[in-house]
Amino acid sequence: MTGHRENTKAAYDGVVELYASLFANGLEDQPFARAMIGSFAETVRKTGNTRVADVGCGPGHLTAMLAGWGLDAFGVDLSPGMVEHARRAHPALRFEEGRIEALPVEDGELGGVLAHYSMIHTPPEELPELLAEQVRVLAPGGLLLVSFFGTDGEEPVWFDHKVAPAYSWPVERFAGLLGDAGLVPFARLVHDPASERGFLDCHLLARRP
């Protein structure tokens, strides 16, 4: 495991209870994100393959939301502390410790992957490999919903995230990476920041052909 993953893992292990408390309301104060995740869930159901991975699931709040919308959802997270919390909070669901870059899933198994601000800590040069892994686990017609912080300009911008160093991305640049990975972006939602960070909040929905 490279240094940035070790640091990110340790950082999230150190804030499990605080982080979980911040999202205990199930995104009730984030209507745009909730709407995009709902659209993702509905579109996945229509494919007939309801098996979905919540990658970087944290305390499992979104995994539970997906399950409540009729998906066979499970969570994967780098932080053992987050996984332990998720298992306690949602004992009926499956959570595993693992890396987004090496998911414990067979090729073409999933109807969907949710990556809710879980790719933001990945250095730009490593993001293509990470996206290729999402494509690997998706069945043809499967969907990826990725959310991230957006910025102006043409290059990703490093910033000091409250938990671990992270990157914001120009929306078109990120959409281009999805295309390069073999996905077809077909919907997006970009809105003013929901926090004091000042970045745009961006949600891209893409399909594996």
CATH number at residue 38: 3.40.50.150
Q: Give pLDDT tens digits for 115-131.
A: 999 999 999 999 999 99
* Domain with 97 in it: 3-12+30-47+59-155+184-207
65/36 Cα distance (integer angstroms): 12
As given in the structure block, the two tokens for residue 208 are 């594996």
Domains in the chain, number: 1
Contact predicate 142/112, CB 8 Å: yes
Within 8 A by CB and 6+ apart from 180, the residues are: 128, 131
10/71 Cα distance (integer angstroms): 30
- Residue 71 counted as domain residue: yes
- Residue 163 counted as domain residue: no
Residue ranges of alpha helices (H) inside 23-145 are 31-47, 61-68, 80-89, 127-137
- Residue 133 counted as domain residue: yes
Q: Give pLDDT tens digits for 57-92.
A: 999 999 999 999 999 999 999 999 999 999 999 999
- Residue 38 counted as domain residue: yes
- Residue 36 counted as domain residue: yes
Note the pTM of the prediction, 2 decimals.
0.95
